[in-house]
Chain A
Amino acid sequence: MDPQSKLSLKQKFKIYWPFTVSEIQGALSYRGRFYFFIFARLLRIFITYYLWKAVFASSRQAMLNGFTFNNMVGYVFISYLTADLVNSGSSRYIGYEVVDGSIAINLIRPINYRTRIFFTSLGSFIYKLIMPALPIWIGFTVISYLSVQELPPAFTTIIQFLISLTLSFLIMFLFEFCFGMLSFYTTYIWGLNMVKHSVLRFLTGELIPITFFPAAIRKALNFMPFSSMNYTPVMVYLGKIRGVEYWQSIAIQALWVVILYLLGSFLWNKAIKRLTILGG
């Protein structure tokens, strides 16, 4: 059926890798915008930092929900970096292609649209990892050591974190793809995207660790993919998820990858017929 199933992995890679490269090159050519983003991001990190500082100062306990103040600082930094890394904004990208009709290019070629978009997202993941994430992480680690003598996590923890981070990236990408399918049904995808962005910042634990949520909400979140998108890798980094619990969390992340992958295929097959109504 699918002529691409005959292709080797290497061939597939050769087909889609240029999209990754092009995305990286594109990002490099807009460096000005890029520095602005880093600045905006750092500003947000510092605002949250002072917020938590105030919270801890006004509390009589040194620990809140299992977090020391230093833990919380680590959480703020790492969760912002993770959130930035894993979110590739694919749904917005798909929205553009559907609205201006350039999605048709991908339909007359024997390529898989989702794989194509995935490799574009991979490009943004790679440059964000090298460019703002790594320097910010190094800066944060050095300052933590100098100010409160806090050492970075053990090497194995970092590896475990990277595995979980990769899964988060996959989950987020697949989720974004599913969300992007909405652009076949509504021209109001921009507005929906804004709402989604705000809701996600909350539900993924980017703003506040999920342990701070009321028990009922935490229970409900257990059945949703959101904590797998950000909260899990951050908690792994902080050493709060480890041992058996680590592997359980990884299994849950992997499960979400499978579920969202299947859901995405299903939605794509539905949506592509819908293109008939919106036109091409």
Chain B
Amino acid sequence: MITVENLTKEFKSYKKNPGFKGTVKGLFSREVVIKKAVDNISFHIDKGEIVGYIGSNGAGKSTTIKMMTGILVPTAGRCVVNGIIPYENRMENAQQIGVVFGQRTQLWWDLPLTETFTILKEIYNVSDQDFKERMAFLDQVLNLSEFINNTVRTLSLGQRMRADLGAALLHNPKVLYLDEPTIGLDVVVKENIRLAIKEINREFKTTVVLTTHDLGDIEELCNRIIIIDAGKKIYDGDLKSIRDTYGYKRNMDIEVKNADQIKAIDFNTHFNLPPEDFSVEINGNSVSVVFNRNKISAAEIAAVVMAKAVVRDMSIKETDISQIVKKIYKNGGELAWTRSQS
């Protein structure tokens, strides 16, 4: 369905010097800064797959999506979506895709939502019968009728996102691109959005490419993930191996009065766990513990620490993408089992 080959995108920008003098200088000599946002990425996605395209902020996710949707033209390499090169046949490509950018709406700001759907019906040439069925389905999974008569500008973020997703699906696209579709949403709306995506994928065999840095989205939706960092692909494979390695990981950050007290603790005698299940890193007065919650509980660790040291503050987090990325680098890409390209 989607083939991406050596896709590269460079952004050229001009270094700006501060002040009036700098501006004048800039008129005559401009220092070009080249930023490789996407660096020689290749992959292939089959029909009906839900692929998580993940990476930390600024990794190049949106830039890749923009090339696949035909908004941006690559600097090098190419991508083909269902036989069409998006940035060369923009209109044709647009006919068969649906896009949601979490950070900005795809709806026309000034129009009431109903109007938007009516326009979309005409744009995509959806028959009356299909329109009725599709709207009923979308209303069922996204509850659009609650706010269908409102102007887009008056919608809340959660409503807007649901509307955006509905508007991306009205014409039953073959490929659905979702760029951070759950960003900024509360848990309930997040869950609704995820369910809707799943439902659509099952019902219509829609191929879904999803960028996110929310591991929850990935756990619930994706059977395959591609991780990129600094524009480069560092992992392409199933979620299972990632989950096995990181899914049960938790992070405990402890702020102590005196780090020496922690250094004095011999954790091995207490827990006797291998480093992949329990590791401690001390940085000044902050201590960062990474542990496997199936092997040991946070309470046990806290008890040992508090018995020996004066604790000022303590917090527990799930592992996030940036830690996974760090870990993959540390392991020298050992995890980076890469799919063969076709």
Contact = CB atoms under 8 A, between A and B. Distances in A.
A164 to B, nearest CB: 32
A15 B104 contact: no
Contact of B122 (A3, A11, A112, A279): A11
A207 interface: no
A112 B94 CA distance: 11
A209 B92 CA distance: 48
Contacts of A15: 119, 122-123
Given A3-B91, A101-B104, A110-B94, A18 B124 contact: no
Given A3-B95, A108-B69, A277 B11 contact: yes
B91 A104 contact: no
B92 A102 contact: no
Interface string A104-137: 1101111110000000000000000000000000
Interface in A249-280: 272-273, 275-277, 279-280
Interface string A25-36: 110000000000
Interface in B54-103: 66, 69-73, 75, 89-92, 94-95, 97, 99, 101
B154 interface: no
B110 interface: yes
A2 B69 CA distance: 17
B110 A26 contact: yes
Contacts of A1: 89, 91-92
A105 B110 contact: no
B337 interface: no
Nearest to A280: B71
Contacts of B119: 14-15, 18
A19 B118 CA distance: 12
A4 interface: yes
The winner among B12, B107, B108 for most chain A CB atoms within 10 A is: B108
Contacts of A280: 66, 71-72
A129 to B, nearest CB: 21
Contacts of A108: 69-71, 94, 97, 99, 106
Contacts of B111: 18, 22
A109 B71 contact: no
Interface residues of A, number: 31
Interface residues of B, number: 35
Contact of A14 (B72, B73, B105, B122): B122
A280 B104 CA distance: 11
A10 to B, nearest CB: 10
Nearest to B70: A107
Given A18-B119, A101-B104, A280-B66, A110 B95 contact: yes
B72 A276 contact: yes
A276 B73 contact: yes
Contacts of A6: 125
A47 interface: no
A18 B73 contact: no
A102 B71 CA distance: 11
B104 A7 contact: no
Contacts of B91: 1-4, 110, 112
Contacts of B101: 104
A142 to B, nearest CB: 37
A224 B31 CA distance: 38
The winner among B94, B115, B120 for most chain A CB atoms within 10 A is: B94
Interface in A165-187: none
A272 B97 CA distance: 19
Contact of B94 (A19, A109, A272): A109
A6 B123 CA distance: 11
A280 B103 CA distance: 12
A105 B101 CA distance: 10
Contact of B72 (A19, A26, A102, A275): A275
B94 A18 contact: no
Contacts of B72: 275-276, 279-280
A105 B66 contact: no
A104 B65 CA distance: 12
A270 to B, nearest CB: 12
A110 B123 contact: yes
Closest 8 CB pairs of A and B: A110-B94, A15-B122, A108-B99, A14-B122, A276-B73, A22-B110, A110-B91, A280-B71
Interface of B: 9, 11-12, 66, 69-73, 75, 89-92, 94-95, 97, 99, 101, 104-111, 115, 118-120, 122-125
8 contacts: A1-B89, A14-B119, A18-B118, A25-B110, A26-B110, A273-B73, A276-B73, A277-B11
